Amino acid sequence: MPVPTANLPLPRGALSRRAAIRSGVAATLAASRVLAPSLFVGCSLGIPPRAPTVRIGLLHSQTGPLAIGSTSLRDVELDAVERFNAAGGILGYAIDPRAPDTRSRTELFPKRATTLLDDGAVALFGCWSSGSRKAVLPLLEERDRLLFYPVQYEGNETSRNVIYGGQVPNQQVLPALDWLRSGPGGERKKFFLLGSDYVYPRTTNFIVRKWLAGTDAGIVGEEYFSLDTKDFAPVVTRIRESGADCILNTVNGAGNIALCAALAEAGIDPAKVPLVSTSISEDDLRSMPAAHVAGHWVLSSYFQTVDTPANAAWMAGFRGEFGQDRVFGDSMEAAWCLINLWKAAVEEAGSFATEAVRQVFAKGIGFDGPGGRMTIDPATQHATKYFRLGRVRPDRLCDVVVSSDGPLAPDPYPQIAFPGWKCDWTKGGLQPGPEVAIDG
């Protein structure tokens, strides 16, 4: 079989269970309940035992405060790989996934990524925080590899080496602000901005401040906390004293467990002062008592409760391998769409080479995912995304209360916050505007 790319690693034998354990995949799968042995031994229905393999890297935290959501993204990607291999692989190659633990530590992401690329990974999938993505970006550009990033983020970035699969503010936060200020949304006018202390919350809240300027709504408080913060009682007191009628929450990871507990213990009524969260999914809610979260709001593109045949089929297939108790969240759906988009692009290109795959994305490519159609915009390499707002039910799933009619086009550089900044990779790439100071 001819090798379909110049930068493909040499064909290898079937992936042994011992090699999988060394890679970190088998050990981490123990926490994921069940996975068919074919992933490890290369003997799936469609792949012969001695088929050549192509390696990919999965960059997810399986311990630490970000593991609450990241481990499920790893599981989704492993499930996709197993299905690819069972159906004959990609271009006749079995896909060999490696998933080292990045341990919720930003400095470990480029180290793990370097090892994966040194070992021949043709593409990387993952990262969670913007800090982790930005830490890996110079390496991606140096090695010219693609990262498929599945998490909502702040925008204000474009790279030829990243396919962005999560929502940006014009697809998530800004439509929510308009709805919350409307009659159906409760005519909220006093927003308290609460976030983790890193790039995404600070930049998102910068955009929020610009968006609300000149409206009849205002910001009555803004505070940030480290990812490992466990005591939110003092800030809940300040929220109450501020007179806020809405909390826009960009806290990430396990800190949301402590935050929701503190709000409940303080008797904050979600009907009067809702917590509106950008980084909580139904998958995360399973770690929180229902009494702490019911009635609050979640901003997302996908919810488990989206009623489509594609969603039902996806959940049933995943649960058949990873357990019937598994719950699904927005970034899981994005991760599933992205790895399937990568497969489709590789097959259309007839190659695993980065530039060949990138050229397919430059023409525009889409995938009918569990939550609806996702298309990668050739100009920005960001995804079109539905806007959906859900209210948390007593069973910790979400009723979709507001939804866009269709996927919204991405705008990584909303002009109200980043005047003059534009990106169109089909017409020369990034056009910088004046420098913008992200304060707050």
The full set of domains in the chain, from first to last, is 17-167+307-376 (3.40.50.2300), 170-305+388-431 (3.40.50.2300)
Torsion sign across C-alpha atoms 341, 347, 351, 355: negative
Strand partners, 247: 192, 275
Q: Is 216 helix (H, G, I), strand (E, B) or coil?
A: coil
Q: Which two tokens stand for residue 247?
A: 């909390």
Q: How far is the C-alpha of 384 from the C-alpha of 164, rounded, in Å?
A: 10
pLDDT value of residue 31 = 38
Non-local CB neighbours of 173 within 8 Å, separated by 6+ positions: 204, 207, 208, 248, 278, 299
Largest CA distance in the chain: 69
pLDDT value of residue 47 = 63
Q: How far is the C-alpha of 225 from the C-alpha of 194, rounded, in Å?
A: 8
pLDDT tens-digit profile, the chain (440 residues): 444 543 443 333 333 333 333 345 543 443 333 333 333 333 334 666 677 999 999 999 999 999 998 999 999 999 999 999 999 999 999 999 999 999 999 999 999 999 999 999 999 999 999 999 999 999 999 999 999 999 999 999 999 999 999 999 999 999 999 999 999 999 999 999 999 999 999 999 999 999 999 899 999 999 999 999 999 999 999 999 999 999 999 999 999 999 999 999 999 999 999 999 999 999 999 999 999 999 999 999 999 999 999 999 999 999 999 999 999 999 999 999 999 999 999 999 999 999 999 999 999 999 999 999 999 999 999 999 999 999 999 999 999 999 999 999 999 999 999 999 999 999 999 999 999 998 74
Non-local CB neighbours of 391 within 8 Å, separated by 6+ positions: 295, 296, 297, 298, 398, 399, 401
Helices (H), 189-281: 199-212, 233-242, 255-265
Strand partners, 224: 195
pLDDT value of residue 46 = 60
Query: What's the pTM value of the predicted model, to 2 decimals?
Result: 0.88
pLDDT value of residue 48 = 65
Residue type, 212: L
pLDDT value of residue 50 = 74
Q: How far is the C-alpha of 181 from the C-alpha of 183, rounded, in Å?
A: 7
